[in-house]
Amino acid sequence: MRPSPAEIVRTLVAGRLPGLVHLARRPGPHHARHVTDPDGRVLLLVPVASHLGAALQPAAGGDDVAVVLDVLDLPPAAGAPGLGRAWVSGWAAELHDDEARRAAVDFAAVEPTGDLLDVGARFRLFRFEVAEVRWERAGVVHRIDPAEYAEAEPDPVHPFEALLLADFAQREPAAVTDYLRRQLGLTEEAPDGPPRVVRVDRYGLVVALGRPGARRRVRLAFPCPLAGPDELGRLFPPLRRPADVHPPR
């Protein structure tokens, strides 16, 4: 098992990675603070006094503004393969009153920033339904059904991935290496070094074979998808997340 394209896009645009906003027929792109709500709709937290805030205002009597959110994966460690790039597009509208308050709660669930307290004063919240979804990987662009995108869920392990990889390398590395060798059926010490975990998701591990920088990789699937990083411990104790580790903000 592995993440579907729709799950990968939901993970990329969830709000943990930096994003750029492109607007139709307007200068840009613009750096934007964004998250997605439980339905996959994109929320943008935009300073009132900003170029993006001005660009998102529709012309007098005009419609909502067409936007594209562009998010590129940042691999969590040197030599780790990237998840690619996601583009999701729609028509952004400013939220007011009760809608803005409910959206602020959704935003805080992903990024609990104090700037949400200033929505309506120094900041505005915009939202758009995702009308088009594209995912690029290895130079190939795939179109994804917006309904599949909306039904998918972001990977709950992704916010912890870099911390988990660092933990695998620093805490009980010999036990992790022995686990990988057993799972891969490696009976002897490889001359170019031990296998290394380079990516983790809810469905399994991506393991690199060979010296750092080598491109030979294999995937080890978990028996069932994880609900979160704490479930790693039931598979193998060295993969357990320490109790004091929290996702980065």
pLDDT at position 106: 97
Query: Tell me: the pLDDT tens digits for 53-85?
Result: 999 988 755 678 899 999 999 999 877 899 999
How would you write 58-71 as a 3-class SS string? Answer: CCCCCCCEEEEEEE
pLDDT at position 27: 79
Q: What's the domain count of the chain? A: 2
- Residue 197 within a domain: yes
- Residue 22 within a domain: yes
Tell me the CATH number at 128.
Answer: 2.30.110.10
Query: Tell me: the pLDDT tens digits for 19-51?
Result: 999 998 777 799 999 999 999 999 999 999 999
Read off the amino acid at residue 65: V
The rounded distance, in Å, linking the Cα atoms of 210 and 181 is 13
Query: Tell me: the pLDDT tens digits for 134-167?
Result: 999 999 999 999 999 999 999 999 999 998 888 8
Query: Tell me: the pLDDT tens digits for 114-126?
Result: 999 999 999 999 9
pLDDT at position 182: 82
pLDDT at position 79: 78
- Residue 244 within a domain: no
Residue span of the structural domain in which 59 resides: 5-151
Cα end-to-end span (Å), the chain? 29
Nearest Cα to Cα of residue 85 among 11, 147, 187: 11
In this structure, the number of other CB atoms found within 10 A of the CB of residue 121 comes to: 8
pLDDT at position 239: 59
Tell me what the pLDDT averaged over the chain comes to: 88
What is this structure's pTM? 0.89
Which residues make beta-bridge pairs with 70?
20, 87
- Residue 235 within a domain: yes
The rounded distance, in Å, linking the Cα atoms of 125 and 104 is 8
